[in-house]
A = this chain, B = another copy of it.
Amino acid sequence: MHSVTPSHLEELIVALRCLPGVGPKSAQRMAYHLLQRDREGALRLAQALELATNNIQHCSKCNNFSEHEVCSLCASPKRDAGLLCVVEMPADLLMMEQTQCYRGLYYVLMGALSPLDGIGAKELHFDRLVRRVQEHPCEVIMATNFTVEGDATAHYLATLLRPENVKVSRIARGLPVGGELEHVDSGTLAQAVLERREVIS
């Protein structure tokens, strides 16, 4: 029965499964779609995969993806070197940049502590972050996610950084802008009460 599927098609279906969240049925559907309706897109994707894989490394300063040894953000003289924001993923860095209120530097962990998935302090290169703070003392802002993993990562890093005697902060928890008390979960509301700030009028 297998002989009725061309081997290059079979190989494409298998190869597509390296994408996260793509199972055998999705991979088959994608392969058919590309061959039937978008061969141009397939070739473009092939080239993009090769170029990205061969040209993208990690910035030696912030660990974000970069085409150069030091990324453009780390190389910029306009950024405030007294602030270091620690995020989990490059997408989080982009979100921070979109706020247009943060002008410091970043450190991208490329993940969060997750012992069950085999991701520990070593995999996330915490030592590189500590060394960086030792060399250039600055305030460290933990902007990891408010998940169990993100919280654990922030807490563990703060412990590691304690001997360096730098200020370590965590972005605030609370209601989102435009949020209504009626629709927020009780954990968030409890944190918002605990982290309440004085109104200066």
List the interface of chain A (C-beta within 8 A of B): 1, 3-9, 11-12, 14-16, 18-21, 25-26, 28-36, 38-39, 41-53, 55-56, 64-67, 71-73, 89-91, 93-94, 97-98, 110-111, 182
CA distance A46 to B192 in the complex (A): 41
User: In the complex, are the beta carbons of B90 and A32 less than 8 A apart?
Assistant: yes
The listed residue with most B CB atoms (<10 A of its CB), out of A12, A15, A49, is A49
Q: Which residues of B contact A44 (CB under 8 A)?
A: 15, 18
Q: List 17 A-B contacts (CB under 8 A).
A: A1-B94, A3-B73, A6-B55, A8-B56, A11-B51, A15-B49, A16-B19, A18-B38, A19-B33, A32-B90, A32-B91, A34-B49, A34-B53, A42-B52, A46-B47, A46-B49, A46-B50
